[in-house]
Copies of this chain bind each other. A is one copy, B any other.
Amino acid sequence: MKELTNRIKTNGRVLGEGVLKVDEFITHQVDPELMEQTGKRFAEVFKDQGITKVVTIESSGIAPAVYAAQALGVPMIFARKSKSLTMDEELLTASVYSFTKQVSSTISISRKFLSAQDRVLLIDDFLANGQAAKGLIELCQQAGAEVAGIGILIEKSFQDGRKLLEDMAVPVVSLARIASLHEGKVSFLEEDA
């Protein structure tokens, strides 16, 4: 998506190999207009897929997810992150390993909000190694819900996330695909959506 790649070029900052900071317009300070555009784009791509719920993970996924859900006319759910696994039969839970922080955390969604009748569109801000997305897919699977696809704002195409998700037969739609972050410079792959 041109608006997003342009914005990354203007306001993204490369901090060492592999790290792209977009706290100016996505992950801390948020540009509502850009987030609406991304949400509408995801809704357009998935409009004929019978989506019943949009699911994301707190916190940076919430803004694009709420606009996607609004455009699709369905509710949005944000999975909660917590430090420890709480045993609670009312919760769907999955463990997510962070390669950056080298710790596992638990994400959860209330069981009552997802069922076997649901077709889910997942949304997240970044796709790197795909561990967070995998956790969200596991939550949906526990509920018997079907995952129609995942919408990503920024894909680090030099990492393994897309392959992991495609191996799980989950279609990936990324609005910006980054080929590399060498020497402080963002290089994009062809655009996906």
Contacts and interface: CB of A to CB of B under 8 A. Distances in A.
Interface of A: 23, 25, 28-33, 35-36, 58-59, 62-63, 66-67, 69-70, 75-78, 80, 109-110, 113
B63 A29 contact: no
Contacts of A63: 62-63, 66, 76
B110 A76 contact: no
Contacts of A69: 30, 32
Contact of A30 (B33, B78, B109): B78
Contact of A33 (B70, B109, B110): B70
Contacts of A25: 75
A36 to B, nearest CB: 7
Contacts of A33: 70
- Specify how many copies of this chain sit in the oligomer: 2
7 contacts: A29-B110, A30-B75, A31-B75, A32-B66, A32-B67, A58-B59, A62-B63
Nearest to A33: B70
A25 B25 CA distance: 26
A29 B75 contact: yes
Contacts of A30: 62, 66, 69, 75-78
A28 B113 contact: yes
A35 B36 CA distance: 14
Nearest to A83: B83
A28 B78 contact: yes
Contact of A35 (B29, B59, B66, B80): B66
A158 B32 CA distance: 34
Q: Which 7 A-B pairs have the closest CB atoms?
A: A32-B70, A58-B59, A62-B62, A30-B76, A59-B59, A29-B77, A63-B66
